[in-house]
Amino acid sequence: MMLTLQLLLLAGGVSVDLPAEAEATGATIMLGEIATLTGDDPEALKVVSNIELGYMPAPGYSRTLHRWKLERAVTLLAPDIEVKWTGESACRVEPVVEMIRATDLFETAHKAVRGLFNGEEVTIKATGIISDISVPRGAVAAVLRADLTHNKQRPGTWSVPVRVLVDGTPYHTAWIGLNVELYQELPVLLEPAPKGTKLTTTMFAVRRVRVEETNSQPLALSLLSDAVAVRAMPAGHVVTERDVERPLAVNANAPVRIEIVIGHIRASIEGRALQSGRIGDLVTVRIEATGKEIQATVTGREQVTRELKRAR
């Protein structure tokens, strides 16, 4: 109703001169961009100029708009404005083009994936050919946005969708192929280890290695002592959770030594484990002197550690 009242107040008419050819920007064609509008009433000119005429053709293509269809659209959307038409019977519209460089597409995908590996050593390279693309130019420069399908730190091949937004509206999606190489300092076997081998820390050396997959977590050196190989492993192998059976270091209802750490201060007290756990596991223990239950990390045979923050 407010729009109708506004249109009723528009006393002046508008003249529309339609050219045979025109260029326009944005994802939607506006009448004011392809035709010359004149009139004495600024509000009437604004209403007619902002009438949308549908989609913008893709770069390299054109769209023919027939005047009789435009007249019908104006009559429907601005029935109270008198419009006089001159010019051609049809107008061929082509988009003004903005070129999106292949390097920008790659950098957008690269930045998004690199952000998942914060603090890690990774090498990211493009796979295949990335081509420049052209899109209709909008009122402002096109925006590139990488929409990752997952946020897992995973080495290997990636296919990253990079959205091209024209005036805030998604216009095109470019799929960018990447290969991610992840390097970490990990313990590797110095010699082959047959199935059933009981591992010791002396069998390993910490080296910079390329991580091939992350479906199974590589084990830190502190977690490998006394672990038993459940499969044969070659020299240079990075041992993961799937490769070994790790013995329990703490048994439920058994006594444990609880080490309390506050900064550089360490104190040991007697306790009892309420859960079984392997080195590195978080278990619940009870302090014998007070009966208080706390959570602590298994750090050795019948030993757990609880770190506390120093009071300020």
pLDDT of amino acid 12: 61
Q: What tens digit of pLDDT does each residue of 110-121 get? A: 999 999 998 899
Cα separation, 272 vs 285, in Å, equals: 6
Least confident of 10-24, 140-154, 282-296: 10-24
pLDDT of amino acid 27: 85
Average pLDDT value over all residues in the chain? 91
pLDDT of amino acid 49: 95
CB–CB of 261/308 below 8 Å? yes
Identify the band that residue 5 occupies on the pLDDT scale cut at 50, 70 and 90.
very low
Tokens of 263: 């900064």
Q: Residue 3: what are its φ and ψ, rounded to 5°?
A: -65, -40
pLDDT at 2 over 50: no
Least confident of 60-74, 150-164, 202-216: 202-216
Contacts of 292 (CB under 8 A, 6+ apart): 286
3 state SS of 266: strand
Q: Residue 222: what are its φ and ψ, rounded to 5°?
A: -65, -20
Tokens of 147: 């929409």
From residue 246, alpha-carbon distances to 24, 90, 116 in Å are: 68, 79, 30
3 state SS of 238: strand
pLDDT of amino acid 274: 94
pLDDT at 312 over 70: no
Query: For the chain, how long is the longest CA-to-CA vector?
Result: 98
pLDDT of amino acid 9: 43
Mean pLDDT across 14-42: 94
- pTM higher than 0.95: no
CB–CB of 152/116 below 8 Å? yes
pLDDT at 196 over 50: yes
3 state SS of 243: helix
Mean pLDDT across 218-239: 90
pLDDT of amino acid 119: 85
Cα separation, 298 vs 290, in Å, equals: 21
pLDDT of amino acid 26: 87
Q: What tens digit of pLDDT does each residue of 168-187 get? A: 989 999 999 999 999 999 99
DSSP calls for 170-188: EEEEEEEEEEEEEEEEEEE
Q: How many CB atoms lie within 10 A of CB 293?
A: 12
pLDDT at 11 over 50: no
